[in-house]
C-alpha cells in the first residue's frame, strides 16, 4: 500500500523555525528522512512559510502524523492510499518470464554455429536484458514506495493580531464601514443633484433680483405735471 499525507500547520508569528525543527525531529525519531523542501520569505524578513516533504517508514505513518499535528494548529489534512499489490504481482510475473527467455537465449547462444545466428541471438538477448532491468527498476520503486510513506508538511506563520473576544473591535470596524458607506452615498447624491441645485439657485437669484426691481419702481413717487401759462 502506497500512503501519502499532506498537512498544513499554522504557527504563531516568529515560530516558523522552531516548528520546523520539531517536525524534523519527529521524522528523524521515526527513522525517516527529508526528500524535498521549499521555503518562502519576504526580502530581508525571517522565514514565514515553507513546505518540507519526508519519507517515513510505513509502519510509523500514523504515529508520525499524530505527532506532527501537535506542532501547530492543523488547517488542512489529506491522506490517500493506493493499493499496488496487483501491479506488484504482475511485474513479478513479467520479470520471471523475461528471465526465462534470457536463460533460453543464453543456451541457444552456446549452440550457435554461425556468425549470423550469434548476432541475432545477441540482439534478442540485449532486448530481453533491457526489459529485465526495467522491470526490476519498477519493482524496486514499488518496494520503496510501500516500505516508506510520503508526508508533506506546510508550515505557515500567522500574522493576525489578538482575538477580539468581546467583539469591540468588530463593532468599531463595522461602524467605520457604515460611516464610509454613508459618506459615499451623500457624495453620489450631491453629484447627481448638483445641476438641479445650481439651476434652482440661478432661478431664485433672478427672481429675487426681479422682485427688488419691482419694489423700487413701486416706491418711486410720480413727478406732477406743470400747467402751461396763457399768453
pLDDT at 5: 96
**Nearest Cα to 146, choosing from 79, 66, 77, 55?**
55
pLDDT at 165: 47
Residues sharing a CB contact under 8 Å with residue 132, sequence separation 6 or more, in sequence order: 95, 98, 99, 102
- Per DSSP, 113 falls in state -
pLDDT at 3: 95
**Nearest Cα to 62, choosing from 103, 7, 108?**
7
pTM: 0.59
The 3-state secondary structure of 125-185, one letter per residue: HHHHHHHHHHHHHHHHHHHHHHHEEEEEEEEEECCCCCCCCCCHHHHHHHHHHHHHHHHHH
- Fold observed for domain 2-83+147-157: Alpha-Beta Plaits (3.30.70)
pLDDT at 51: 93
pLDDT at 160: 54
Give the sign of the dihedral formed by CA 154, CA 155, CA 156, CA 161.
positive
Give first-to-last CA distance, the chain, whole Å: 145
Local confidence pLDDT in tens for the 231 residues of the chain: 999 999 999 999 889 999 999 999 999 999 999 999 887 665 655 558 899 999 999 999 999 999 999 999 999 999 999 999 999 999 999 999 999 999 999 999 988 889 998 999 999 999 999 999 999 999 999 999 999 999 999 999 986 544 444 555 556 656 666 665 676 656 665 666 556 667 666 666 667 666 667 666 666 655 554 544 544
Amino acid at each position: 500500500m502506497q500512503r501519502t499525507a499532506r498537512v498544513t500547520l499554522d504557527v504563531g508569528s516568529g515560530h516558523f523555525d522552531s516548528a520546523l525543527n520539531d517536525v524534523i525531529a519527529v521524522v528523524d525519531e521515526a527513522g525517516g528522512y527529508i526528500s524535498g523542501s521549499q521555503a518562502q520569505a519576504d526580502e530581508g524578513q525571517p522565514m514565514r512559510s515553507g513546505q518540507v516533504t519526508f519519507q517515513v517508514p510505513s509502519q510509523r505513518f500514523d504515529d508520525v502524523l499524530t505527532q506532527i499535528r501537535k506542532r501547530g494548529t492543523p488547517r488542512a489534512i489529506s491522506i490517500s492510499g493506493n493499493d499496488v499489490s496487483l501491479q506488484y504481482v504482475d511485474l513479478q510475473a513479467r520479470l520471471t518470464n523475461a528471465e526465462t527467455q534470457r536463460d533460453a537465449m543464453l543456451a541457444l547462444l552456446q549452440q550457435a554455429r554461425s556468425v549470423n545466428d550469434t548476432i541475432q541471438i545477441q540482439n534478442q538477448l540485449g532486448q530481453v536484458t533491457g526489459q529485465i532491468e526495467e522491470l526490476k527498476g519498477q519493482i524496486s520503486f514499488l518496494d520503496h514506495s510501500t516500505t516508506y510513506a510520503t508526508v508533506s508538511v506546510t508550515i505557515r506563520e500567522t500574522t493576525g493580531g489578538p482575538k477580539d473576544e468581546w467583539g469591540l473591535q468588530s463593532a468599531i470596524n463595522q461602524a467605520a464601514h457604515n460611516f464610509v458607506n454613508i459618506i459615499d452615498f451623500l457624495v453620489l447624491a450631491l453629484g447627481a443633484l448638483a445641476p438641479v441645485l445650481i439651476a434652482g439657485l440661478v432661478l431664485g437669484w433672478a427672481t429675487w433680483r426681479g422682485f427688488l426691481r419691482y419694489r423700487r419702481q413701486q416706491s418711486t413717487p410720480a413727478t406732477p405735471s406743470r400747467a402751461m401759462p396763457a399768453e
